[in-house]
Amino acid sequence: MEGLTIRAATAADTDRIAELIGGQPGREAIGIAGCVEAARNFGMGFVRLQNGPQAWQQSVLAEMDGRVVGVLQAGEGESPFQPSLRVALLALRVFGLGIVPVLGRTRARQRIQCEGPAGAYTIREFNVDPAYRNRRIGETMLAHAEATARKQGHRRLSLTTTTNNPARRLYERRGFLVVETKTDRLYERYTGIAGRHLMVKELS
Residue pLDDT, tens place only, 115-153: 989 999 999 999 999 999 989 999 999 999 999 999 999
Give start and end residues of each alpha helix (H) in the chain. 14-22, 27-33, 36-48, 85-95, 99-111, 137-151, 168-173, 185-191
Tell whether the model's pLDDT for residue 169 goes beyond 70.
yes
| Domain residue limits, the chain | 4-202
How far, CA to CA in Å, does 201 sit from each of 116, 118, 120, 142, 143? 11, 13, 9, 11, 12
| pTM summary value | 0.92
CATH code for 4-202?
3.40.630.30
| Phi, then psi, of 86 in degrees rounded to 5 | -65, -40
Work out the percent of the chain whose per-residue pLDDT is above 90: 86
- Contact predicate 69/18, CB 8 Å: no
The residue type found at 191 is T
What's the half-sphere exposure (Cβ side, CA atoms, 13 Å) at 130?
8
> To which H or E segment does residue 8 belong?
strand 4-8
Nearest-angstrom CA–CA distance, 168 and 177: 9
Is 177 a residue whose pLDDT tops 60?
yes
Q: Is the dihedral of CA 132, 136, 142, 146 positive or negative?
A: negative
Please state the rounded mean pLDDT for residues 36-58: 94
Three-state secondary structure call for residue 34: coil
